[in-house]
Amino acid sequence: MALPKYTEPHYRIWHYFYLLICGCVFFFLIAPLFVIFPLSFNAEEFLVFSDGMKRLDPDAFSLRWYKDMIYGTKNPWGLAARNSFIIAIFATLGSIILGTLAALGLSSRHMPYKGLIMAILISPMIVPLIISGVAIFFFMAKVGLAATHLGIILAHIILGTPFVVITVTATLSGFDHSITRAASSLGSSPYNTFMKITLPLILPGVISGGLFAFVTSFDEVVVVLFLAGLDNTTIPIQMWTGLREQLSPTILAVATCLIILSVLILLTAELLRRRSERLRGINR
Amino acid sequence: MSSETGKILTTDGIPLEESLKQAEKKNKIKAFLLVAPLLLFLIITYMIPIGDMFSRSIDDKMVTNMLPKTYKAMETWDGKELPPEEVFEAFYLDYKILVKNKTAGKLQTQLNYEKNGFKSVLKKLARKQKKFEEGNYKEQIMKVHKRWRNVEYWRAIKRRAPSYTYSKYLKGVDMYSNEDGKIVQVSEDRRIHRILWIRTVEVAFFVTLFCFLMAYPIAHLLATLPMKYSNLLMICVLLPFWTSLLVRTASWMILLQQQGIVNDFFVWTGLVADDNRPEMMYNKTGTYVAMTQILLPFMVLPLYSVMKTISPSLMRAGKSLGATPAVAFFKVYFPLTIPGIGAGCLLVFILAIGYYITPALVGGASGTLISNQIAYHMKSTLDWSFASAMGLMLLTGVLAIYWIYNKLVGVDNIKLG
C-alpha cells in the first residue's frame, strides 16, 4: 500500500502511525504464542528465561519436558491424548452427518419454519458455554451417561453441529440446484445424485465445518469439566488442572504440540477455503 | 390438453394444480425429514434440559414433601393466631417420621433459612418428643420451648407450603422475601452477586470496546493490502483463532507473572522499580488483557469480511469531490462498515459475558465473573437450583441482546471468516 507521491506530509505521518498501530496489534495477537516455544525447551523448572537461555547456551536447553510428557509417570497425558482424539473424531463424524443433513434440508426452498428451526439449530453456539454445560450435565446425569465417553461425545456433537450447519448452508447458498435436477432427469437415483453431484461440490464446506467441530471438541473444557470422570480425562482437562495447581514446563511442551496441531489445521482450513471459493466461483 | 371442465390435467389425469400441490407437500416432507434427526437430537439433549433447569430453579418441593400432613392441616388456618390442635398433631406426626428416618436435619436447615433460631427449637423438640403422651399435642409442644407459642414460627412453616419458589432468583440479585412476604435487599456486607453482575457486564463491555479499537485498523489493513501480503498477515489472526484457548491463557500466565517478560520489560524501560513489580495477574488487569487477545479474532473476521466488499473507488470518489481523507472516511467508509461492527461486537460481547476459563485462571478473586459463580455452585456448594437460576438469568440477558441486535442489524450478517 504505497502512498502516492503527491501525499501531503501530515497524511504521510498519519499513514505511518496507522501502520505502526497495526503492527502493534499484530504483535499483540501473535507474540504470546511464541513465548511458549523456547520456554518448553527450558532445562530448568522455572517458567522464566534463564540467564543461560538469554546467552543461547546449548546447555540451557533440553528436551526433558517432552520426555516427561511422554514417559512421565505422574502425567496422564497419554490417556488424555487418546481420549481427546477418540472423543473429537466421533464428535466430528456425528456433527458432520447430522449437520450436513440438516443443512441440506434447510437449503431447500420448501422447508417450512426456516427461521425458527435455524435458530434452534445454531442455539448451542449462542448460549454461553457454562449454561450449555449445566443443561447437558443435567441431561446426561438423568440418562446415566455422565462420566462416559458416549456422554461427552454426544455433548460435543451438540456444540459442534452449529458450525457444520453454518458452513454447509453457506456453501449451498451458491449451489446451482438445476444440476441435481439434470442428474435425476437423466435417471440417477437420489442417493447417486447426492454422492456423485452434491457431495463433491459441498465437500469443502463439509470439511471446514468438520474442522470447526473437531477443534471445538478437542479444545472444549467447560462442558467436559462437568461431565468427565477420572477415566474420561482429556487434554484440555489435564491442562486446566495443571494451570490451576502448578504451571509446570510439561504443560508448555503439550502446548507446543497443540500449537503445531493448530498450524496444521489452519493450513487445511485455508486450502479448503480457497478451493471452495474457486468451486463457487465457477457456479456463479 | 384441456379437459371438459377447463382444468389442465397431467398425463395421469390428475388436475395439474393438485399434482403440483402434492409434489410441493412431498418436497416439504423430504426437506423436513432431513432436518428432523438433528432437530430431535437437539430438542431432547439440549432444549428440554434447559427447560429442566428452569423447573429445577423454581423447585421447592423438599419442605412440602417432608411435612405433608402439616400442610394439609394448615390449609384452613388463616395464620392470624396460633394454629389449632390438628396442626400441632400433624406436625408432631410428620416430624416424628423425619427424626426416625434421620432426615430432620434438612428440615431444620431449611426452616432456619426462613426464621432464624428455628434450628435449636426443632432440635430440642426432637429430643423431648420421645416422651410425648398421646393427645393434646398443642400443650405438650408449647411446653418444650416458648417459641412454639410464637405465631411467627408457624407462619414461617406455612410460607414454605408452595412447592414452587422464586427465592433463588431473588438471591441471584441479593434480595430475599422477609417474614412479612416483602421483597427486601440483603444486608450490605452480603451483597456479592450484584457486584458480580455489574463486573461481568463491565468486563464484557470494555473487552468489546478494546477489541473494536484494535480490530478496526488491522481489518482495514487486511482488506486493503494486496492479496499477497494480506494472506500472510491473516495468519496472525487465524493462528490464535485456531489455537487452544488454554494454550493462549497459559501463555498469558507466563507473560504476566511477576517475574514474567512484560514485567521484565517494564523494569528494563525504567517504568517500575525491580523490587516493586506490579501484580498483573490474578486481578482484573489479567482478565482484560487475556480476554481481549483471545476474543480479538472474533472481531477482526466479521469486520474483514464486510470491509472486503467495500470498493476502494468509493473513497476515491469522495476525495475527488473535495472531501478530506478524514471526512471521506467518516462519511463514506465508516457507515458502510457498520454491519461488520455490529456483528463483531455482538459476537465478542456474547462470548465475553459468558466467559469462564480465562477469568478462572488469570482473574483471581477480583477478576472472576458470573460464570465462575455458576460453576462454583455447580461443583462446590452443589446448590444446583441456584446455579440453574443464575444460568437462566444470564441466558435471558444474552437472548435479549441477541434479540435487540436482530431487530437493529439482522443476524444474517454473522459469518465465519
Best residue of A11, A21, A100, A130 to probe chain B, by most B CBs closer than 10 Å: A130
Q: Which of B59, B85, B101 is the last residue of a domain?
A: B59
pLDDT class for B4, splitting at 50, 70, 90?
A: low
Shortest CA distance to B162 belongs to which of B95, B81, B65, B82?
B65
Q: What residues make up the domain containing B28?
A: 1-59
A100 falls in which pLDDT band (50, 70, 90)?
very high
Q: Are residues B119 and B132 in the same domain?
A: yes
Q: Where are the alpha helices (DSSP H) in B80-149?
A: 85-100, 104-114, 118-128, 137-144
Going by pLDDT thresholds of 50, 70 and 90, the confidence category of residue A2 is low
Angle, vertex CA B182, rays to CA B181 and CA B188, nearest 5: 125
Judge contact between B296 and B211, C-beta under 8 A: yes
Q: Is A172 on the interface with B (CB under 8 A)?
A: no
Q: How many helices (H) and strands (E) does chain B have?
A: 22, 2
Q: What is the pTM of this model?
A: 0.85
Give dist(CA A175, CA B154) in Å, integer.
71
User: For B322, left (φ over 0), alpha (ψ -120 to 50), or beta?
Assistant: left
Quick one: A103 and A42 in the same domain?
no
Distance CA B349, CA B195 (A): 19
The interface predicted TM-score of the complex, written ipTM, equals: 0.87
* Same domain? B2 vs B30: yes
C-alpha–C-alpha distance, residues B232 and B13, integer Å: 64
In a domain, A42, yes or no: yes
pLDDT at A74: 66
On the question of pLDDT at B396 being above 80, the answer is yes
State whether residue A153 sits within 8 Å of chain B by CB.
Answer: no
Per-residue pLDDT band for B381 (boundaries 50, 70, 90) equals confident
Determine, for residues B416 and A135 on separate chains, whether the beta-carbon distance falls below 8 Å: no
Q: Is residue B121 part of a domain?
A: yes
Give the range of the structural domain holding residue A252, as residue numbers without chain letter. 78-283
Distance from CA of B367 to the nearest CA of A (A): 15
**CA of A162, closest CA in chain B: separation in Å?**
10
Q: State the CATH number of the domain containing residue A98.
A: 1.10.3720.10
Domain-embedded: residue A1: no
B46 → closest Cβ in A105, A158, A266: A158
The answer to whether A105 contacts B52, with C-beta atoms less than 8 Å apart, is no
Within 8 A of A121 by CB-CB distance, chain B residues are 35, 38-39, 42
Q: Decide if pLDDT at B349 tops 90.
A: yes
Assess whether pLDDT exceeds 80 at residue B226.
yes
Task: Give yes or no: residues A107 and A14 share one domain.
Answer: no
Within 8 A of B379 by CB-CB distance, chain A residues are: 225-226
In a domain, B174, yes or no: no
Q: Which of B36, B412, B41 is nearest to A106 (CA)?
A: B36
Residues B55 and B91 in one domain: no
Chain A CB contacts of B296 below 8 Å: 25, 28-29
Q: In chain A, which residues have their Cβ closer than 8 Å to the Cβ of B354?
A: 127-131
pLDDT value at residue B411:
59
- Better pLDDT: B179 or A151: A151
Residue B262 lies in a domain: yes
Assess whether A229 and A144 both reside in one domain: yes
Q: Is the pLDDT of residue B413 over 60?
A: no
Query: Is the per-residue pLDDT at A136 higher than 50?
Result: yes
Residue B286 has pLDDT above 60, yes or no: yes
Question: A120 and A241 share a domain?
Answer: yes
Q: What is the DSSP secondary structure assignment for residue A47, as one 8-state letter? A: S
Instruction: Give a yes or no: residue A70 inside a domain.
Output: no
For chain B, what is the domain count?
3
Selected residue of A11, A36, A131, A207 to mutate for chain B interface (largest B Cβ count, 10 A): A131
A235 min Cα distance to partner chain B (Å): 10
**Chain A hits for B326, Cβ within 8 Å:** none
Same domain, A117 and A33: no
- Pick from A28, A108, A117: CB nearest B27: A108
Q: What is the pLDDT of residues A211-242, one digit of tens each?
A: 999 999 999 999 999 998 888 889 999 899 88
Residue in A closest to B347 by C-alpha: A126
A48 touches chain B (CB under 8 A): yes
pLDDT classification of A190: cutoffs 50, 70, 90? confident
Q: What is the pLDDT of residues A107-120, one digit of tens each?
A: 888 888 888 898 89
Measure the CA–CA gap between B281 and B265, rounded to whole angstroms.
16
B255 vs A32, A106, A259: nearest CB: A32
Q: Which of B9-18, B343-352, B363-372 has the highest average model confidence (pLDDT)? A: B343-352
Mean pLDDT of chain B: 86
Residues B316 and B218 in one domain: yes
Q: Is B162 helix (H, G, I), strand (E, B) or coil?
A: coil
Indicate if B286 and B378 belong to the same structural domain: yes
Question: Residue B176 gets which letter from DSSP?
Answer: E
Q: Please identify which residue in the block is written with the cell numbers 408457624.
A: B154
Same domain, B83 and B29: no
Distance from CA of A73 to the nearest CA of B (A): 23
Dump pLDDT digits (tens) for B70-91.
888 888 888 788 888 888 888 8
Taking a C-beta distance cutoff of 8 angstroms, is the pair B284, B366 a contact? Answer: yes
> Cell numbers 453456539 correspond to what residue?
A125
A87 lies in the same domain as A34: no
Which pLDDT score is estimated for A1?
54
